[in-house]
Structure 1
Amino acid sequence: MTDRVVLLPGMLCDAGLWAGVESALDVPVVHAELSEPSITGMAEQVLSCVDGPMLLVGLSLGAIVGFEVARLAPERVAGFAALSTNAGAPRPDQHEAWWRQARRARAGEFCEVVEEILPSMFARQRPVAAGAFREMAARVGTRRFVAQLAAQATRTDAREVLPMITAPALVVSGGEDALCPPEFHREIAAGLPDAELYLVPGAGHLLALEAPERTAELVNRLVRRCAPPSTIEEIDCA
């Protein structure tokens, strides 16, 4: 059993993504910074942020990095939660979109790009959550955003990694996630040896912002699944 949860944020997100989740978790957390321009580089950042086994909780890009952590060091993964994500390889249209976004961000249109991305993050208008997303994006900034886009372009098909994740796993999808719909998560759960799959009705992509209480409840459930079974002392009464 690990006594730490490592939280991995999504694109344009930082530790603020987990603000409503962290306070309700039953174990301490470590926030991983994902700033390298490749998925492998980001996974190495995660592996270096703590020693020993860890319970990984990743959302979107964070879960993609988690798949790579499992590929590099499966023995370090004591539990894995994949939220709002995609285990498949990028499509050509995604590569093109990321290239355009990076070019515009470098040309001074970072804020405009953020505003164009924002509607796809939520299932419906959520002013408070949208404000939190804008604040995170401002903290992430242009340089790290461009590095995240470059990392996305290095993604490979992670579905072959799923059988390597033998630890207890959790897969969660927003019922109205336009970016990573529920069918992506059904496929991921089917490929994991020990996974529980949950759908959060009415939620979009950024589950941790839209449904923090439910997200924390499910992560705590995974924490309990990762705990060793209680030992009962046998008393010889003979």
Structure 2
Amino acid sequence: MAAALPAGASGPLPVVVVPGMLCDHDLWTDVAFPAHHEVHHVALTAPDIGGQADEVLSAVPGPFVLVGLSLGAIVGFEVLRRAPERVAGFCAMSTNAGAPRPEQYAAWRAMDGLIAEGRFAEVIEQTLPGMFDVTEPPGDLAGRYRSMAHRVGPDSARAQLAAQATRSDAHDTLRTVRCPTTVLYGTRDALCPPDFHRSIAQAVPGARLTPVPGAGHLLPMQHPRPVSAAVRDLLAEAERTHRIPPSHSEESPPCPVI
């Protein structure tokens, strides 16, 4: 992989990919990112959404395309709020822009308690059924999910649970987004159903809403081809629309436009 471009340099936009809870780089193994774009994987370890947004923003200098799933996309919403000029394109998948619900707070506290008692493996098994299409057994994907979760480990898992509790409704931020945006969802996602994604796409001006029929929550593992196609199209659009302001002029807009 080539060295990252310095801020303000020309060239293909880097891609920053951010996984969901208990997931790592293997989530994206089967996604065919275009070879001329650098791909940077971010691990979410801070115990709050703001700190995790900083982890994303520190992954590369300058502008980038952000691809996030579930918690990774939620962190992306905060990145867009803090530094919209850095995000040249955004892909949100299998996610929720709403504020946490009371039952979610209760579930997160219960999972954190189990992990604190040394029962991390039980938490992994509790979360596994929601990761895939509920009508089909996940097969080998279940093993991959367990392996990812164990690599993330109990400490980062507790930090991610704590971060979830610091979320807030992101729809006001989404209404200000002006970069090319794609919203992907699985039609059989039990954790983040289609309505969540419709509300995101309705909030972002010009967003492209893309359903993946028969897919559950972990789209890149279960259906990598439509994810690959959506990311490829987003990158092409971001490259067309992104403009880097000249250092001697204030006339260019501070962020990409559609």
The two structures have a TM-score, normalised by structure 1, of 0.93
Amino acid aligned to 2:221: L
Residues 2 and 53 in structure 1, CA contact (< 8 A), matched pair in contact too: no
Q: For 2:140 and 2:207, how far apart are their aligned partners in 1?
A: 32
Q: Deviations over 1:138-194 (max 9, x none)?
A: 100100000000000000001111022100000001010000001110110010012
**TM-align CA RMSD:** 1.3
Three-state SS of the structure 2 residue aligned to 1:21 is coil
Three-state SS of the structure 2 residue aligned to 1:85 is coil
Residues 2 and 78 in structure 1, CA contact (< 8 A), matched pair in contact too: no
- How far the C-alpha of 1:226 sits from its partner, in A, is 1.0
Q: For 2:170 and 2:36, how far apart are their aligned partners in 1?
A: 29
Q: Which residue of 1 aligns with 2:98?
A: 88
Q: Which residue of 2 aligns with 1:234?
A: none
Identity among equivalent positions (%) equals 51
Q: Which residue of 1 aligns with 2:145?
A: 133
Q: For 2:146 and 2:63, how far apart are their aligned partners in 1?
A: 33
- How far the C-alpha of 1:23 sits from its partner, in A, is 5.2
1:176 corresponds to 2:188: yes
Q: For 1:38 and 1:26, how far apart are their aligned partners in 2?
A: 33
Q: Which residue of 1 aligns with 2:122?
A: 112
- How far the C-alpha of 1:125 sits from its partner, in A, is 0.8
- How far the C-alpha of 1:227 sits from its partner, in A, is 1.8
Q: For 1:111 and 1:148, how far apart are their aligned partners in 2?
A: 16
- How far the C-alpha of 1:43 sits from its partner, in A, is 0.1
Q: Which moved more, 1:123-132 or 1:100-109?
A: 123-132
- How far the C-alpha of 1:22 sits from its partner, in A, is 4.6
Q: For 2:199 and 2:49, how far apart are their aligned partners in 1?
A: 21
Three-state SS of the structure 1 residue aligned to 2:231 is helix
Residues 68 and 93 in structure 2, CA contact (< 8 A), matched pair in contact too: yes
Unaligned runs of 5+ in 2: 1-10, 242-258
Residues 14 and 38 in structure 2, CA contact (< 8 A), matched pair in contact too: yes
Say how many residue pairs are matched. Answer: 229
Three-state SS of the structure 2 residue aligned to 1:204 is coil
Amino acid aligned to 1:175: T
- How far the C-alpha of 1:15 sits from its partner, in A, is 0.7
Q: For 2:36 and 2:131, how far apart are their aligned partners in 1?
A: 27
1:76 counterpart (79, 86, 92): 86
1:44 corresponds to 2:58: no
Q: For 2:39 and 2:170, how far apart are their aligned partners in 1?
A: 25
1:149 corresponds to 2:190: no
Q: Deviations over 1:106-133 (max 9, x none)?
A: 1011001100110110002121111110
The two structures have a TM-score, normalised by structure 2, of 0.86
